[in-house]
Amino acid sequence: MNNGQAAQRTTEILNPVIQATRETFELMLDCAIEKVGVSLLEATDEQNDILATIALTGETNGSICLQFPRQTAFGVVERLVQIEPEEVDDLVCDCIGELANVIGGGTKSKLQQFALTLGLPQIVRTHSLRKCFAHEAQPLCLSYNSGLGPFHIAFAFENEGETNSAVSRAV
């Protein structure tokens, strides 16, 4: 698949990701969100951010990566389990991983034509959202504001047999 085809495939996935994100925040967190931007993902280096990624494979392959500033992640944890975290610990990682799992599952359910399989969420040990994807991938990035704080969701997809996920390199 050339870059134009990969970009077209990623664009096809856009609305299902937006819908799954909105539904997850509204139902799981009782939190309204506002999409404030859609762009190609640029290199970032946010030292205090928490990243979680989840792969979807099948007739198209790709990954969705969530990036939360520390305070937004803490707000998510407090809303989910009524515990106010003081540091990034296993509980914070588990909650953000679960959010990735639910958003990934919601996206998968809206893309039945691709016969997707959902991978396990992973907390990525990198400070750059861009490093969650292969160099040649052209991920889209959705920027959001919410009552819990700002966050980003990036994703890219290609045809079966190709891969754009660099998660194994970043973990």
The pLDDT tens digits of the residues spanning 103-119 come to 999 999 999 999 999 99
Supply the pLDDT for residue 60: 87
- In the CATH hierarchy, which top-level class contains the domain 3-170? alpha beta
pLDDT, one tens digit for every residue, the chain (171 residues): 566 666 677 778 899 999 999 999 999 999 999 999 999 887 765 666 899 999 999 988 999 999 999 999 999 999 999 999 999 999 999 999 999 999 999 999 999 999 999 999 999 866 677 778 877 788 899 999 999 999 999 999 876 544 444 333 333
Q: Give the Cα separation of 81 and 95 in Å (integer).
A: 9
What distance lies between CA 96 and its chain's CA centroid? 10
Give the pLDDT confidence of 25-54 residue by residue, as tens digits.
999 999 999 999 999 887 765 666 899 999
The answer to whether 55 and 136 have CB atoms below 8 angstroms apart is no
At 170 the pLDDT is 36
Query: Phi/psi at 30 (nearest 5 deg)?
Result: 50, 50
CA angle 113, 169, 109 (to 5 degrees): 20
Global confidence as pTM? 0.85
Write down the pLDDT at residue 3. Answer: 65
Q: Where are the domains of the chain?
A: 3-170
